Amino acid sequence: MLNAAIFDIGGVLTHSPVTAIIDFCRTHGIPDETRIAVFGPEDGPWSRFERSELTPAEFAAVFEEHARGAGSAVSGDEFLRWFFRGFGPRPEMIAVVQHLRGRVRLGAITNNVARDEPPERRTAGVAIHDLFEVVVESAIVGARKPEPRIYHIACEQLGVAPHEAVFLDDMGANLKGAKALGMTTIKVDHTLRAIDELEAALGIPLPRP
């Protein structure tokens, strides 16, 4: 029996930051191979930033070094100012979370950055601390999806075992990490299919636009 629903933020409750970063880099003349070197590896600059192993100033310097090396004039500070504007909410998914309050335990797991920023700037402009009982942020706990520890933290704080939770994310690697621990997983895309799957998994009728 599923007693908890755990949601990713970027790409689930907001529009995809991954797609937005790709567009930003292409707009500013940063080639795909440079973008992937910064944002792709588990031990790369962005992943380290998400675990608070780099400060904003340190990440900005590394980003700028890569960008300038690829012939782009964009600064690291400019990228961070753009990033912290957020990516716009997905009202249909937020409505699902609000509908589930009091029906199941609710948590969020997010790979985010800059632990000293105000909460809403860390979480893509969405007031997720008002939506969820438990919010686990990579920048705060020093672990990021798909590392097992971050899922365990969320489940422990919600008081459920992994097999009692359903986890929603837009990234296959993050879902694979959760599934390996016994969690039910649902991939979120731009359609309403994830709401259909969550409704079936929980046995609770859910709202749709």
Mean pLDDT of 90-96: 97
- pLDDT tens figures, 157-177: 999 999 999 999 999 999 999
Same domain, residue pair 22 and 38: yes
Mean pLDDT of the chain: 95
Q: Is residue 207 part of a domain?
A: no
**Phi and psi at residue 93, to the nearest 5°:** -80, -35
| 20, pLDDT greater than 90 | yes
- pLDDT tens figures, 130-141: 899 999 999 999
CB count in 10 Å sphere of residue 36: 13
Residue-wise burial string across 75-101, b where 16 or more C-beta atoms lie within 10 A, e elsewhere: bbebbbeebbebbeebeebbebbeebe
Same domain, residue pair 10 and 67: no
Q: Which carries the bigger pLDDT value, residue 16 or residue 125?
A: 16
| 61, pLDDT greater than 70 | yes
Q: What is the pLDDT of residue 124?
A: 67
Burial of 110 (0-12, 13-18, 19+ CB in 10 A): buried
Mean pLDDT of 56-78: 97
Q: What is the dihedral of CA 16, 19, 21, 24, to 10 degrees?
A: -130
Same domain, residue pair 93 and 9: yes
Same domain, residue pair 62 and 162: no
| 76, pLDDT greater than 90 | yes
| pTM score | 0.93
State how far the Cα of 73 lies from the Cα of 47, in Å rounded to an integer: 23
Same domain, residue pair 130 and 192: yes
- pLDDT tens figures, 106-126: 999 999 998 887 776 677 667
Please say whether the beta carbons of 62 and 55 come within 8 A: no
Q: Is residue 28 part of a domain?
A: yes
| 193, pLDDT greater than 70 | yes
Same domain, residue pair 93 and 77: no
Mean pLDDT of 78-83: 95
| 185, pLDDT greater than 80 | yes
State how far the Cα of 133 lies from the Cα of 197, in Å rounded to an integer: 22
Same domain, residue pair 11 and 23: no
Mean pLDDT of 92-109: 97
Q: What is the pLDDT of residue 114?
A: 81
